[in-house]
Amino acid sequence: MAEYIVKQGDYLSKIAANYGFRDYRIIWNHPQNADLKKKRQNPNVLYPGDVLFVPDQEMKEIPAATEKLHQYQVQAKPLALRLELRYASNKPMAGVECELQIEGTAYPLTADGKGRIEHDISPNAGNGKLKIKHPEITFPEIPLKIGHLDPVEEVPGWKARLNNLGYAAGPVDDQETAQLRSAIEEFQCDYFKDVNQVDGKCGPKTQAKLKEAHGC
């Protein structure tokens, strides 16, 4: 049993891979991690400082005859990066051609009717780039920090999601600035019908809405 302290940029699949586990669920479903699992819910959105218990590897003994080819299926859930792209008007970027670059390799993709693109990634992927091939969209490539999405309960988690949703909250850190407050108010104004809900504070209700709107 090892205790692992989560660092910025860590996500469970990556940690699992580093410890030699093909399936992150062996760690996530371990009773020692029940509290953390309940708190974070999404194994790929952890927070620096979270404590993870990593069980020992169990050696599986499988009898196998020599000089014969044996095939083994490794049970592992594929890890992917899933993005849903929308225009400023919130309409999905259906059918738009993109290029998703992950750790240096470029994958041309076309967004589906919901503006969604996804691609498998290796457990160690950390950096990527997104290019939108649309004659009218002139944003240069967008840098992606994979695995750096903090939980929605934390300030950097608010900021990252607000930025992703187009509300420009400022750099993703723990500073609660006026720009962040303005972004929260704009978000609340757009997503809550009742004007009394617009208070510039990201409480549990706003956080839940933010998680729902962002997708994770």
Partner 1 sequence: MNGNSQRSGTADGGVATPHPSSSMCDVHVGPSTSAEYNTIRFPLLPTACWRLEDIRFEFDSSFINASAAEEFKNLASLVRGLPGAPLSVFGHADPVGNDDYNKKLSGRRATAVYAMLVRDTDLWEDLYSNPMGGDNWKDNAVPIILQDSGYPSETPAAEKEGIKMFQAANGLPATGSADRATRAKMFLVYMDKHCRDESGKPFKVEKKDFLARGEDPGGKGDYQGCGEFNPVLMFSKEENEELSKTDNKEKRDAENAPNRRVLIFMFHPGNQVSPGDWPCPRAKEGISGCQKRFWSDAKTRRTFQEKHREYHETQDTFACRFYDRMGLNSPCEFSTLVYTSVDLFFQRYPGIDPASGIQGLEYEYTTAGCLPIRGTTGADGKVRIRVPVGESATLKIMGSEYRVKSRPGLEPFNKIKGVQQRLIMLGYNARVATGTMGPYAEYAILQFQADNPTLKIDGLPAASTMQAIKDKVGE
Residue 208 binds to partner 1 (criterion: CB under 8 A): no
Cα 212 to chain centroid distance, Å, stands at 13
Q: What is the CA radius of gyration of the chain?
A: 20
Q: Which residues of 135-148 are buried (b: 16+ CB within 10 A; e: fewer)?
A: eeeeeeeeebebbb
* Residue selected from 89, 104, 113, 204 as contacting partner 1 according to rule CB under 8 A: 89
Choices 30-38, 54-62, 67-75, 81-89; region in contact with partner 1 by CB under 8 A: 81-89
Q: Contact, 107 vs 125, CB < 8 A?
A: no
* Residue selected from 33, 164, 180, 202 as contacting partner 1 according to rule CB under 8 A: 164
What is the DSSP pairing of strand 116-120 with strand 105-110? unpaired
* Residue selected from 166, 192, 197, 207 as contacting partner 1 according to rule CB under 8 A: 166
Residue 148 binds to partner 1 (criterion: CB under 8 A): yes
DSSP 59: P
Interface residues with partner 1 (CB under 8 A) are 11, 13, 24, 42-45, 77-90, 116, 118, 121, 125, 130, 134, 136-140, 142-150, 156, 160, 163-168, 171-172, 178-179, 182, 185-186, 189, 195, 198-200, 213-216
